[in-house]
Structure 1
Amino acid sequence: MDTPATIFISIASYRDPELIPTLQDMLRHAAHPENLHIAICWQDDENLSLFEESGMTPEGSRIVDSHEVFAFRYRQARVDVISVHYYASQGACWARSMAETLYEQEAWFLQIDSHSRFIPNWDNEMIAMLRQLECKSERPILSTYPPPYCPGEDEEASKKRHVSRLIFREFNPQGIPMLCSTPFTASEPVRGSYLAGGFIFTYGDFVNIVPNDPQIFFAGEEIAMAVRAFTHGYDIYHPHQLLLWHFYQRKDHSKVWGDHSNDAKAQGAVDKAWWERDNNSKKRIRTLLGLEVEDAASLAPYTTGNTRPLRAFEYQAGICLQNGTALPEVMGAEKTNFFPTPPDDEAQWLARQYVWYKKAFTLKAADWQSNDQGADNLHLGVYTPQNVLLYKRTLDAQALRAESPDGNLTLSLEFKTVNAAYPAVVRVCSWSVTSGWGAVMEKPW
């Protein structure tokens, strides 16, 4: 029988050896495991013995939306598994959408990745924190990039203890906002504009109101969900206290883009290479964000809502999607991710925005020291495909040699333009008072 504390937990797991440790840690630290309904879209080799071997008790199977669902009981919690071969996967949000078909009107919704760890009594803590926000918002969401952990012998020591808020990083080549995070300290959750796919906690009906779009492959998932949640009336908050950890990078773990390769398609193992799904996914996200001529209504039911307009999201986040620009406060030291009031004058708001570019650029000693070991300056310029200069910088060669005696340099290039441009090439040339200009070295942006 349902209770006010029931939590529906959606987990997408792709060939992840951390899935079972994640479930074990989650249930070991839950205050009320009997109130948890865990739904897993398991994209692996379809060998279900893994679950029994880890101590789960099988309780039969049933058909939901034409998919067989294998039921288990583990430490009093319900664990439902949709098992598909990893070659049949269609991406992260497809797997999240599959898991959501198992929602049974639970009171709360938690979306995580299958490589997570939890604080003691995490379920009580999440519910209590969200309830504290009910006086500020009718539809609050808790979301952030959890601090990292690394599995293994030193797992406990590897857990970082900071909390972070999500911030805008850049527009990718398709004009889609990409995110990162920055630590913060506060006495209560702080408002934000962005959510993280690896941790969302809110009311259970979020599954019905803002379901995952199964055609979004991976990149852009978070801005799409943030925009849809906002326009449906949800307010995002970043937790001020630690709730869980996340295993990032996972360099040695299998990824869908490694398995779903051109070779795998040529051999008939998959019907589409990963990049084909990714291209379609990015077009859908661009449509949702108003960057394509196609109406966003064509994405139904995975559309924006009618509670608040898309422009209001841009005001709140300090970015203009159509222009690919952001306010100085967004990109400056303050890393502002939430503006509580809309601008009084939209024209002035737009006039204050810039297109921002940031790139780490590596030079080997031979790139700039080969012709003249006694160079006094290093001249650097960034150009468009039409050879228009976007940015230039003069560096003191003597200071560079002092910082990097071996001559190998890593330079951080950051600049802004009023209108969107497309950096194509970086040109570097040394200058010596005694011998003049050295050879021009070019590298792609």
Structure 2
Amino acid sequence: MTASSRDSFQSRLGFVLAAAGAAIGLGNIWGFPTQAANNGGGAFLLVYLIVTAILALPALYAEVYIGNQMQKNPVAALKQACGKRFAKTGENAGIIGLVGALMMLSFYTIVAGWMLAHSLAALMQLFGFVELSQWLSTSSTLRNVIFTPIFILLTAGIIHQGVSSGIERWSTRLMPLLLIMLIGLIIFILQQDGATKGLNLYLIPDFSQVTNPKLIISAMGQAFFSLAIGVGSMMVYGSYIKKEQNIGKLVVSIAALDTCIAFIAGLLIIPALFVAQHAGQQVFADGKLIGEGQLIFQILPELFSSMGTMGILVSFAFFALLSIAALTSTISSTEIPVAYMVEEKGISRHKATWLMSLAVLIASMLLVAYFDVLFGLVIQLLTTILQPLMSLFYFVVVGWLWQRGNQLTDMARLQANPSLKLLGFYLRYICPILLIIVFINVAF
């Protein structure tokens, strides 16, 4: 399939919203506020913004740039960018990225199913179906078996429609809705007793903690994961826009929107925790959040229930918001292997979508069956090993392996454009060193 015959994004806004949707997910609305609450609030936010600018943004640029210049799926793009000598290495790296996308989808669809179940639980409570509401809000294998496939079907229903008719159309609908719901929830929570204390913790940095190595590493890991770098979703999206586009501006737009959503999510979650604390719930123990990952399924639903009918509506909106955030991320992760099967194996998009969805379903059910053993392990392998290593490989490809057609290593272009030369140097030398430091500290 040639670049000219490939489906593509029809507008710059469509690309930015779709790519931002890939980055904006549970990591922003769920993970970021939890990390901030556990690591000094404002101090974590400050360091997060710094490391996003010096590390995550360049990594995002490298991934989008490779896809955009190659105009191919991640496997073919890396194979070509690595040249004849290292073509097999690039191809294998692309396949590892596909495996990473499957890993991400296997646990992400399970968690997304939880969000969907909790949003429906609020509706059932509102309509008086108390027992059904309780079942929906209680973790169980049966609930996972039902709601994980539902979320996989939602994702497949969008992906099989194509890039412009499916991904772009739904991204331009879902992202504004997500932002409106998020702002509405913030306005409600900030009016509750106790919210100001959480707001102060979040917005006023304790500068004595800024140099804490643990805080810095946590912020780096969160910034890295938040932008969904390292599995190829940004590369495949980059391949769906024309080469004439200013990649730098587009990447800055994506990172800015992603960081903005993470920041705004903190304005919701952290004050909400202190509202719950003010209402008598125990939220912190020894300075750390109780339950951490399970926090929003325990403390916040109880808080919303204590607010009467309005609280039930807020609970529905909150978990619907998280469901939308999860959907925009699963769409991008599913597109990676689908694009590969369509372009490299000659399979129709419709068939490729459902084959990939079946593979995700099998992987997810395997995690459900051996939840205690596999769930946390898969997340750790993906976020602390595979994603950092893949991003490091992108820097190596852009800075060292890719020679012809790469403006970041083309000496004639670099001499004529000092800013491009500086960017090339930064991606070639500084970013790999920074990423190696992050990888060593997070993994070991």
Q: If the length of structure 1 is used for normalisation, what is the TM-score?
A: 0.22
Between Structure 1 and Structure 2, whose CA radius of gyration is higher? Answer: 1
Larger RCO: 1 or 2 (CA < 8 Å, sep 6+): 2
Relative to total residues, which structure has the larger helix share, 1 or 2? Answer: 2
Relative to total residues, which structure has the larger strand share, 1 or 2? Answer: 1
